[in-house]
Amino acid sequence: MRDIQAMDNPERLRYFQVIDELRELGINEDLPLPQIAVFGDQSSGKSSLLEGLTGLSFPIASDLCTRFATQMVLQRTPGEKTTVKATIIPGPSSLDDDEQKKHLLDFGMEMDADELNGPKFAWLLDEAAECMGLPNSDQDLENLDKRFSDDILRIEISGPDQHHLSVVDVPGLFHNPTKYQTREDLSIIRGLIERYTTDSRTIILYVA
């Protein structure tokens, strides 16, 4: 995991400082602070932007990170270590299936931030995809019942040097359905986009 502190420019650093100050004042208890939702077409270069915002090494060559939404929550906590915790938030399609909902809620991983390098992050995305019933990076996408999910992978990064920030990577849009990406898949992506655009605290960052 790259050190996000090394990538701060003065304007972005001031933005993070303001968020930290608001949280210290307890503002977030009464008024949720903003979250950044990153939208864009597939292969639009979102991975590089997300890496710059969060410090996570997104697997640029993999499509798995675009098959479900990933919410990255950075938070400043006391202590010396920076830790990572990954969980899954069941989406609307899973809420009426108690067995599937429990299966998703049972997903959980914790590790030191130093362990979360590029290959480890790709592995984590693979594990989350498998839990959601999605294909992993070794599977063919043809003739599969499920290629996208409205479940959300939530990654919390907590440590003394972190800024308070929430960033959501939303699956990339595609415009021409194929046998690998159907109209039903596009409907799932649009549902995720609507979920965040209707949230008043969301700041939309569109990558063209």
pLDDT reported for residue 179: 63
Are 12 and 97 in the same domain?
Answer: no
Are 150 and 64 in the same domain?
Answer: yes
Are 86 and 182 in the same domain?
Answer: yes
Are 1 and 89 in the same domain?
Answer: no
pLDDT 10s digits, 87-112:
999 999 998 899 999 999 999 999 99
Are 25 and 122 in the same domain?
Answer: no
The domain of 25 spans: 1-31
Number of domains in the chain: 2
Question: Which DSSP symbol is given to 25?
Answer: T
Are 147 and 50 in the same domain?
Answer: yes
Are 87 and 119 in the same domain?
Answer: yes
Paired with 111 in beta bridges are: 84
User: How high does pLDDT run on average in the chain?
Assistant: 80
Contact 135, 71 (CB under 8 A): no
pLDDT reported for residue 35: 86
Q: What's the rounded mean pLDDT across residues 75-93?
A: 91
pLDDT 10s digits, 117-158:
888 998 999 999 999 998 766 666 555 667 889 999 999 999
What share of the chain has pLDDT > 70, as a percent? 71
pTM, full prediction: 0.80
Are 27 and 129 in the same domain?
Answer: no
pLDDT 10s digits, 23-47:
566 655 565 667 899 988 776 678 8
Beta-strand (E) ranges in 30-180?
35-40, 69-76, 83-89, 108-112, 152-159, 165-169
Are 128 and 198 in the same domain?
Answer: yes
